Chains A and B, each alone.
Chain A
Amino acid sequence: MRSTPRTERRRPTRWMTGAAALVAAALLLGWVIANFPRAPIGPRYVGAGHQTPRSGGTFIFAAGSNIHTLDPHFAYDTLSTAACRLLYDGLLDYDYDGNMIPGLAAELPKMSDGGRSFRFTLRNGIKFHNGREITAEDISWSLHRLLSERIGSPGYPFFKSIQGAPAYHRGEADRVEGIVVLDEKTIEFHLDEADQTFLNALAMPFSYPLAKEHVEKLEQAEGRDAVGRHPVGSGPFTFSRWERGVQVEFERFEEYWAPQARPDRMIFLENISSDVASARFRNGDLDVVYRPSKVTRLFLRASEAWAPYRAESPSASVFALGLNCELPPFDDVHVRRAVAFALDRSKLERLDPGQVIAATQILPPMLAPHDPELPTRQGFDLERAKEEMRLAGFPDGLIEPVTLWVRGEGEVRAAQLFQQDLKAIGIEIELKMVSFATYLKETGRPRVAQAAFTGWHQDFPDPSNFMDILFHSRSIHPENSENRSFYRNPKLDAILDRARPEIDREARLALYAQANAILADEAPWAFLYYPIDMFAWQPYVKGFRPHPVWLNEYRNVWLDLPRERVSQSIYEQETGP
Chain B
Amino acid sequence: MIRFILLRAMWGVLVIMSVVTLVFFLIFVAGDPAVTVLGPQARAEQIADFKAKKGLDQPVPAQFLSYLGVMPCVRKDSPKYERDDGSRGFCGILQGDLGESYSHHESVAAVIGHRLPRTLLLASLAVLFELIIGLSAGVIAALRRNRWSDTLIMFATFVGISLPTYVTGPISLLLFAFLLGWFPFGGYGVDPLDHLYHALLPSLILAVAGAATYARVMRGELIETLRHDHVRTAKAKGMPMSRVVIKHAIRNALLPIVTLIGLSLPFLVGGAIITEKIFAWPGLGLLTIESIESLDAPVIMAVVLMFGVAVQMGNLLADIAVAALDPRIRLED
Contact = CB atoms under 8 A, between A and B. Distances in A.
Given A440-B35, A480-B44, A74 B105 contact: yes
A276 interface: yes
Contacts of B188: 243, 245-246
A157 B106 CA distance: 23
Contacts of B293: 436
Nearest to A70: B105
B41 A457 contact: yes
Contact of B47 (A69, A74, A77, A480): A480
Interface in A174-224: 223-224
B290 A152 contact: no
Interface in A340-384: none
Contacts of A440: 31-32, 35-36, 39-40
B105 A243 contact: no
B286 interface: yes
A225 interface: yes
A95 interface: no
Contacts of A74: 105
Interface residues of A, number: 58
Contacts of A157: 43, 45-46
B46 A156 contact: yes
B164 interface: no
B187 A276 contact: yes
Nearest to B111: A244
A285 interface: yes
Interface string A243-254: 111110000000
B295 interface: yes
A482 interface: yes
A275 interface: yes
A230 interface: no
Interface in A400-418: none
A444 B148 CA distance: 65
A130 interface: no
A431 to B, nearest CB: 19
B114 interface: yes
Contact of B105 (A228, A246, A269): A228
Given A68-B104, A157-B45, A279-B178, A271 B185 contact: no
A276 B169 CA distance: 12
Contacts of B36: 436-437, 440-441
Given A68-B104, A225-B107, A456-B41, A437 B185 contact: no
Nearest to A469: B43
Contacts of B277: 273
Contact-residue bracket for chain B: 35 or more
Contacts of B30: 435, 437-438
Given A245-B115, A279-B185, A437-B36, A39 B46 contact: no
B53 A152 contact: yes
A272 interface: yes
Contacts of A280: 185-186
B303 interface: no
A334 B254 CA distance: 75
B287 interface: yes
A459 interface: yes
A285 B185 contact: yes
Question: Which residue among A272, A276, A438 has the maximum number of chain B CB atoms within 10 Å of its CB?
Answer: A276
Given A246-B188, A279-B178, A271 B280 contact: yes
Interface in A227-243: 228-229, 243
Interface in A260-291: 269-273, 275-276, 279-280, 282-283, 285
Contacts of A479: 44
A66 interface: yes
A36 interface: yes
Interface in B267-318: 277-280, 282, 286-287, 290, 293, 295
A552 interface: no
Contact of B45 (A156, A271, A275): A156
A245 B114 contact: yes
B107 A271 contact: no
A65 B38 CA distance: 16
Given A156-B45, A273-B277, A223 B32 contact: no
Nearest to A482: B43
Interface centre among A71, A160, A224 (most CB of B within 10 A): A224
Nearest to A244: B114
A270 B111 CA distance: 15
B180 A477 contact: no
Contact of B44 (A154, A223, A457, A477): A477
A264 to B, nearest CB: 16
Interface in A539-574: none
A37 interface: yes
A405 B290 CA distance: 23
Contact of B282 (A77, A271, A455): A271
A480 B39 CA distance: 11
Interface string A456-470: 110100000000010
B326 interface: no
A538 interface: no
Contacts of B170: 275
Contacts of B114: 244-245
Interface in B169-193: 170, 173-174, 177-181, 185-188, 190
A481 interface: yes
A154 B114 CA distance: 26
A283 B180 CA distance: 11
User: Which of B31, B53, B181 has the most chain A CB atoms inside 10 A of its CB?
Assistant: B31
Given A152-B53, A157-B43, A480-B47, A271 B286 contact: yes
A436 B42 CA distance: 14
A387 B106 CA distance: 57
A244 B106 CA distance: 11
A80 to B, nearest CB: 9
B180 A154 contact: no
Nearest to A458: B41
B105 A71 contact: yes
B50 A152 contact: yes
Interface in A467-526: 469, 475, 477, 479-482
A419 B106 CA distance: 45
A130 B42 CA distance: 34
Given A68-B105, A156-B46, A244-B114, A276 B286 contact: no
Contacts of A273: 186, 277-278, 280
A96 B192 CA distance: 41
B130 interface: no
A480 B77 contact: no
B49 interface: yes
Interface in A57-107: 65-66, 68-69, 71, 74, 76-77
6 contacts: A66-B104, A283-B185, A437-B295, A438-B31, A441-B35, A469-B43
Interface of A: 17, 36-39, 65-66, 68-69, 71, 74, 76-77, 152, 154, 156-157, 160, 223-225, 228-229, 243-247, 269-273, 275-276, 279-280, 282-283, 285, 435-438, 440-441, 444, 455-457, 459, 469, 475, 477, 479-482
Given A285-B185, A440-B31, 15 more contacts: A39-B179, A71-B105, A156-B45, A245-B115, A246-B188, A272-B280, A273-B278, A283-B181, A436-B36, A437-B30, A437-B36, A438-B30, A441-B31, A457-B41, A480-B47
User: Top 4 A-B pairs ranked by shortest CB distance?
Assistant: A437-B31, A245-B282, A276-B186, A244-B114
